[in-house]
Chain A
Amino acid sequence: MNERLWNILVDSFPKLLEYGIKVTVPLTILSFLLSLIISVIVAMIQYADIKGLRQICRFYIWLIRGTPLLVQLYIVFYGLPSVGITLPAYTAAVLVFGFNEGAYMAETMRGSLESVSVGQLEAGYCVGLNYLQVMGHVVLPQAFRTAFPALSNSLISMLKGTSMAATITVMEMFRQAQVINGRVYESLGLYGEVALIYLAFCTLLTWLQHKGEKKLASYGGASS
């Protein structure tokens, strides 16, 4: 490696890491929280078979899963202003990432809810709980445990997916790498460097997932 490239990589590293921690990570967390909320609501509507709303949920999942994420970003950020809806780039990114991954996670959650035995629900009714109480105390915690590995997958995939926000002008880690590269023309070095930072973030998440799974195993210490 020549000295010029090495200096570029060393100089750009703190900047890239800073954007990773200050922009990519919060963008991921916000989008993930949004998708988590969406997925639980959408899954519960289907689980409880609420007529009308259930069809709307199926339509949402069909629409989101059937169109590319990149196209969704473009429609929301570049397309909606022509009908009077102009969103800041960051907001548009959170909404699109949240609703996109929410559709996949809703299916994960629905499957997990359905895997909880009906007897758990019946036992809850028989000790005097109402539907929402049984769901909150018994069924949802068990479903979350089943869904945990798949939800971790979604989180990791979302973290990497936030790089697409670069295409709608959000100044996140990958966009920052593009900007630096525009000055110095070291594509392989800079994009390789940014890939390594994503890899480090994902490694951390994978480690957290294993810790979480251990904690949830056999319900030792995981009361709800």
Chain B
Amino acid sequence: MMLSVKGVRKSFGETDVLRGIDLNVEEGDVVAILGPSGSGKTTFLRCLNFLERADAGELIFDGEHYDLHSATKKEISAIRRRTAFVFQNYNLFQNKTVLQNVTLGLTSGRGMNKAAAEKIAREALEKVGMLAKADAYPIALSGGQQQRVAIARGMATQPEIIYFDEPTSALDPELIGEVLAVMRQLASEGMTMLVVTHEMEFARNVSNQIIFMEGGHVIEAGPTAEFFSHPKEERSRSFIRSILNKESL
């Protein structure tokens, strides 16, 4: 097991957002986390990279145990160096060019020399089809282009897993395809991915595991094919039905 998470709990004030979430990810898995808005998916993902501090929970990464509530700065930094995070709003560094966005984590974050970092960055940008814009600033790019650069920025650090937090939710409909295509390619190359998404087609065709969450609980978890063809829970069935109805409209 590459990544194993147990008993993640988190509340904001009086509101319990996560009420004990478990998750297992094997190397090469593409896990789609589905669920209605407010189900805690994003908070869960953010807890895994310590962008939110969970109230309780354990993270086992390649056999190493981390406490999601009380991990030290050093442990957090170690985890973050082995993972990448793609945000809904891209969060490209506004004052850096596309190329600098990708190299910063390699040079300042990992002490790599500039030439080596730029070589890796150019390869990553080539892969997402953004090499031509290497010297542009984020403000000059479309949302889809910014998100592809953000994915290249994550890939360049050679993470063992990439977390995606609704990577296409902020995009115009006609720009969603180009980002999903990049993600699909990553998946086919064996990258381990944990994807919070509303894209049912992507979940159905690219992921191999589904986690369905609602109200801070995991309602159902299992292989993708099974989840869509034979959902066990009534709540999963109604969710799939409502989504499919929406898509056929």
Contact = CB atoms under 8 A, between A and B. Distances in A.
Interface string B48-83: 010100000000000000000000000001001101
Interface string A91-124: 0000000000000000000000000010110111
A125 to B, nearest CB: 6
A145 B95 CA distance: 9
Contacts of B100: 223
27 contacts: A117-B91, A119-B87, A120-B91, A120-B94, A122-B85, A122-B87, A122-B91, A123-B85, A125-B80, A126-B80, A126-B84, A126-B154, A127-B105, A127-B157, A128-B109, A128-B110, A128-B157, A129-B104, A137-B93, A137-B108, A138-B93, A142-B94, A218-B139, A219-B94, A219-B137, A222-B95, A223-B96
Contacts of B109: 127-129, 133
Contact of A138 (B96, B110, B154): B96
Interface of B: 49, 51, 77, 80-81, 83-85, 87, 89, 91-97, 100, 104-105, 108-110, 137, 139-140, 150, 153-154, 157
A7 to B, nearest CB: 55
A122 B154 CA distance: 13
Given A128-B81, A141-B95, A223-B95, 12 more contacts: A123-B85, A123-B91, A123-B93, A125-B51, A126-B83, A127-B105, A127-B153, A129-B104, A133-B108, A138-B93, A223-B100, A224-B96
Q: Among A127, A128, A218, find the residue whose CB has the most chain B CB atoms closer than 10 A.
A: A127
Q: Among B93, B110, B140, find the residue whose CB has the most chain A CB atoms closer than 10 A.
A: B93
A119 B86 CA distance: 11
Interface residues of A, number: 24
Contacts of A203: none
Interface of A: 117, 119-120, 122-130, 133, 137-138, 141-142, 145, 218-220, 222-224
Q: Among A123, A126, A141, find the residue whose CB has the most chain B CB atoms closer than 10 A.
A: A126
Report, nearest first, the 8 A-B pairs whose CB atoms are least far apart.
Answer: A127-B105, A128-B109, A123-B91, A119-B91, A126-B85, A219-B137, A141-B95, A128-B81
Contacts of B110: 128
Contacts of B96: 137-138, 223-224
A60 to B, nearest CB: 29
Contacts of A128: 77, 80-81, 105, 109-110, 157
Given A125-B51, A125-B80, A137 B91 contact: no
B45 to A, nearest CB: 11
Contacts of B77: 128, 130
A218 B140 contact: yes
A127 to B, nearest CB: 3
B87 A129 contact: no
Contacts of A120: 91, 93-94
Nearest to A119: B91
A126 to B, nearest CB: 4
Q: Among A120, A125, A128, A224, find the residue whose CB has the most chain B CB atoms closer than 10 A.
A: A128
A124 B93 contact: yes
